[in-house]
Amino acid sequence: MCGIVGYTGRRQAAPILLDSLSRLEYRGYDSAGLAVRNGAALAEVVKATGKLYHLADKTDQGRALAGCCGIGHTRWATHGDPSIVNAHPHVSGNCSGSGSGAVESDVVGVHNGIIENYTELKEKLLRHGYVFYSDTDTEVAVKLVDYYYKKYKIGPVDAITRTMVRIRGSYALALMFKDYPDEIFAARKDSPLIIGAEDGEAYLASDVPAILKYTRQVYYIDNLQVARVSPGKALFYDLNGDEVEMPLTEITWDAEAAEKGGFEHFMLKEIHEQPGAVRDTLNSIVKDGWVDLSQTGLTEDAIRSIEQIVIVACGSAWHVGMAAQYVMEDLAGIPVRVELASEFRYRSIPISGGTLVIIISQSGETADSLAALRVAKERGAQTLAIVNVIGSTIAREADHVLYTLAGPEIAVATTKAYSAQLIASDVLAIHMARIREKMTAEEAERLLGELALIPEKISRILEEKERLQWFSSKMANTRDIFFIGRGLDYAISLEGSLKMKEISYIHSEAYAAGELKHGTISLVENNTLIIGVLTQKALYEKTVSNMMECKSRGGYLLGITTNGNFDLEDSVNFTVYIPKTDEHFMASLAVVPLQLLGYYTSVNRGLDVDKPRNLAKSVTVE
């Protein structure tokens, strides 16, 4: 969830580190810090709490820190509250850790993740004379590396591998050693880390956007590997200290895709990028009018042998799974269950060789989803990953991979990645139905034709965004919002509610409309906002009736429905119309006004849309 960056080369490191950290702000953080080495001189460490500009001001935009080798970090507090003392980088020396300036220390490091046995390790180090200044598990890791480095008089790689054997938990570590002034050493387990090295310079980061400006050729460090990074070069080692070869991956994203491009916020830009993300994803798997999943490795025989599908995900990706469940069961006739990754890994769900477990993750690094993937494989299931990041851990470890082409998504609240995942799931459902002879070739062709029109229909919805902007200004002070729908509309409501609560901080909940009378309707009072999603013809009248029950108790009603259902205006206070498509695919359209509603409400409340409090883009800790 935090951000790690590193640079070593011929240029001044600190300005590059600050620039790279600014591109990781979406990951969520509460403090930041830099450590830079200038040849054989002592490491200069500077930390600040709050936003990154405080650190930039402290260092004169990085110009005050001399040196061409350094590491940086944005911290999201886990062990220890947000403070300068707990901020990274941490050092192996017995200093206060609270100030800025030269630090006498053999090892300086930053860390993402959680070290579960840090208390036990800390007690060991205390017995060996180490003094601790912070409440963090990271300081323990840095000092443990220092302990092995000095006790056994070994090199950095061996000291780090010994540390990795002792640590339980997840981590991405970047470390600098006083005796190796122009090198950075890195290690990872279950937390993402990438390296780019070319033309006498090398870069290290938690995520692609941080270094996309500087290089497109990157290495993804494998689990339980160590990297030795020097100007223009990166070497990789396993836990035995043996050197291993790692493949280079080319990042095809346009560097401008990680910029705002004239929009006020990344979220608004990414909402508007949805037609392109959907179109690109669709075109990557539908070729010459037919679905081509050959790159995934999921064969037709494998699809015919599926007995059940289990979709595992977190957050918005879980909502994609909820929508996909309705579509896959209805079209392909395969039993589907949708599980939260954080629950799946701790349950004994019956899984056989005929089970396909689909893991959905934008980053491909989500900790709970990755753990669920590994559990599924251990139990003998076939696994398919739907991910957006090429070379990510989930993509590498799954049996089959279906990539979405949403490009970099910077705002914490997902929009275009959700839509790309949704369209990929719909195509997969059609393909499975056709292979399993649940529909004719003509019907499959018709449905694929409907999907091909989705991007243009999203664009039409975006052209009407001013109405939602106006409405959101009227509801900015609302205290409670309930999103309701039936069937697929319920799945859409889940995502709409999440968008609202995570960026506007208004309490919102989503309910299957038929469940309102089983307790929830007691919460409806005067001016409680009820947002009903009504895109399913067979369920339309029932949902309208549920909304009327809320209205009779003082609720204020907003209805989202398809063009033609103009009678809804007689029942609700405000109506949003969306273009028609096949009902299986309505989620791709109905979610867009809900995204815009959440966005404009957040703006009207004066909040930080792209970086909502307490949240991170990529959740890489449990």
Residue 583: CATH number of its domain: 3.40.50.10490
What are the pLDDT digits (tens) for 232-287? Answer: 999 999 999 999 999 998 887 766 666 777 788 999 999 999 999 999 999 999 98
Question: 397 by DSSP, 3-state: which?
Answer: helix
To the query of whether residue 124 is one of the catalytic residues in this protein, the response is no
Question: Same structural domain for residues 157 and 38?
Answer: yes
**pLDDT reported for residue 27:** 66
Instruction: Quote the percentage of the chain above a pLDDT of 90.
Output: 72
State whether 309 and 195 are in the same domain. no
Let me know if residue 340 belongs to a domain: yes
Is residue 63 located within the same domain as residue 126?
A: yes
What's the confidence (pLDDT) of residue 256?
62
pLDDT computed for residue 257 by the predictor: 66
460 part of a folded domain: no
Based on the domain organization, do 87 and 175 belong to the same domain? Answer: yes
Average pLDDT rounded to a whole number, residues 457-469: 93
- pLDDT higher for 263 or 359? 359
Give φ, ψ of 121 to 5 degrees: -70, -35
- Tokens representing 103 are 């630090």
Domain annotation covers residue 615:
no
| Residue 551, in any domain of the structure | yes
Confidence (pLDDT) at 345? 82
Catalytic entry in 2, 69, 314, 550: 2
Q: Is residue 611 part of a domain?
A: no
**Helices assigned H by DSSP within 113-222:** 118-127, 137-151, 156-166
Same domain, 481 and 448: no
Summarised one tens digit per residue, pLDDT across range 185-219 is 999 988 889 999 989 999 999 988 889 889 989 99
Last residue of a domain, one of 423, 452, 481: 452
pLDDT tens across 144-198, in order? 999 999 999 999 999 999 999 999 988 999 999 999 999 999 999 888 899 999 8
Is position 617 annotated as part of the catalytic site? yes
In this prediction, residues 352-357 reach a mean pLDDT of 91
pLDDT of 108 higher than 90? yes
Pair (300, 422) in one structural domain = yes
Q: In what order do the strands lie in the sheet with 169-177?
A: 90-91, 107-115, 169-177, 180-189, 225-230, 233-237, 243-244
Please state the domain count of the chain: 3
Give a yes or no: residue 522 inside a domain.
yes
Spatial separation of the C-alpha atoms in residues 563 and 549, rounded to whole Å? 24
Model pLDDT for residues 17-40, shown as the tens digit of each residue: 999 998 887 666 889 999 999 987
Q: What is the mean pLDDT of the chain?
A: 91
Domain with 581 in it: 465-604
The whole-number pLDDT of residue 346 equals 87
pTM for the predicted model, two decimal places = 0.78
Residue type at position 160 = I
Give SS3 for 316: helix
Question: Which CATH number does the domain housing residue 40 bear?
Answer: 3.60.20.10
CA 72 from centre of chain: 21
Looking at the fold, whether 70 and 22 belong to one and the same domain comes out as yes
Domain C-terminal end among 421, 452, 483: 452
Where are the strands (E) in 40-168, listed by range?
A: 43-49, 69-75, 90-91, 101-103, 107-115
What does the pLDDT read at residue 336? 97
Q: How many CA within 13 A on the CB side of residue 25?
A: 18
Confidence of residue 387 (pLDDT cuts 50, 70, 90): very high
Residues 577 and 439 occupy one common structural domain: no
Say yes or no: 285 and 246 in one domain: no
Tokens coding 555: 């609720």
What was the pLDDT predicted at 209? 84
- Asked whether residue 613 is assigned to any structural domain, the reply reads no
Same domain (yes/no): 303, 236: no
Q: Is residue 327 located within the same domain as residue 423?
A: yes
Overall average pLDDT of the 354-378 stretch:
93
Cα–Cα distance list, 321 to 91, 108, 115, 338, 373 (Å): 43, 42, 31, 6, 15
Domain end call among 251, 282, 317: 251
Q: Residue 181: which H helix or E strand, with range?
A: strand 180-189
With bands split at pLDDT 50, 70 and 90, how would you rate the model's confidence at 539? Answer: very high
Does 150 lie in the same domain as 270?
Answer: no
List the strands of the sheet with 400-403, edge to edge: 336-340, 308-313, 355-361, 382-387, 400-403
pLDDT at residue 292 is higher than 80: yes
